[in-house]
Structure 1
């Protein structure tokens, strides 16, 4: 599915807030006339979007894929859409079967805000040095301890992750930052983006980024960039559901 996260307190169901999981489960329960629980590929923060988000579920009903998509979308609000559906083996789990994820962070780099994307892109008025940011981003690619880029990580928590690639490009007034990895810590992509912006502003020299990671000190990294610029862009599986990708290059 895809969703615009502006109105939701993230994906995961919460007792006192409206979430994407709650809305989708309610819609599918109506469609299938049975209680439905869905298992998402990721937990997204409040205000974060998804262009490709996979979830798994079980049902006793036999329903053709086209009918499932049309029926589910009929019960869902305009900011959530089912893109594709297919049968998978019983041991498939949208989260635990996932091999990699790719996030996109969108920045509107202009003096003026874009009224059409105010909840989809971060407004950033300073000039962005794209070659400098690309050089900085290269320090995060590979397998590292990313404790310095994590909110509320504990000492006992495994904070080692692998970043496969980071690409940064400018298209008109929009700067796109794509980060692909085998997994992400809480707020990791948003802190990574905030750190890159600190590099752009001269607050953190590129030469200090390796030491920043080695320090495991969250206070040495940049701010946590605002949630509304972030979206889950692609998810990757070895045997991919039709809407997902399998290329891990």
Structure 2
């Protein structure tokens, strides 16, 4: 009797092939991109959680992340994630695809409207504050009137009207990038999948504070809740399937 290979993907996840055939390797991913029913969703690329010396990283010992963890995180952001997200934003814009931005921002300056979780974490980005500002490199393009969704919870779908907005625009597929991979990104991916969206995570355009957390999160999402692809593959797919929009 032939024993299954314990190191094979199907041994680790017996349902992998079922999900892959039903949700990952399907033509609808391609069709929704071609029909412009897909959008790029950029998660929390703001001063609060993605800039040294600000927000949760205002002081070296703030936020519970070690010096090594901070060094890894900001190095990955600077060298891979932010340049990659900007390239992806430019590609989506040049092909007339929606680019949508989420950020952590309260409705009030004292944050009394925040989620209970953010209150417990003492996490506040007040309207108009530097912490609420997007990082300039990947900020919304004001000339394109890009949509910004403000939230005070890890998952944008549970705490905002994003699902309603996407339905209004006919968006059924999401390409997701941002921070942190294992928190706001993963929660958003899971919620989007449960709501019926086809989700793609661009792995080298996401980051968190350790490589182990990043890899573990993607291992859970891969071929179950989302396709997991690279920046190069994603750009190649968009440029192959959609004609570039001519500038008037």
What is the TM-score of this pair, normalised by structure 1? 0.23
Q: More helix per residue: 1 or 2?
A: 2
What is the TM-score of this pair, normalised by structure 2? 0.23
Q: More strand per residue: 1 or 2?
A: 1
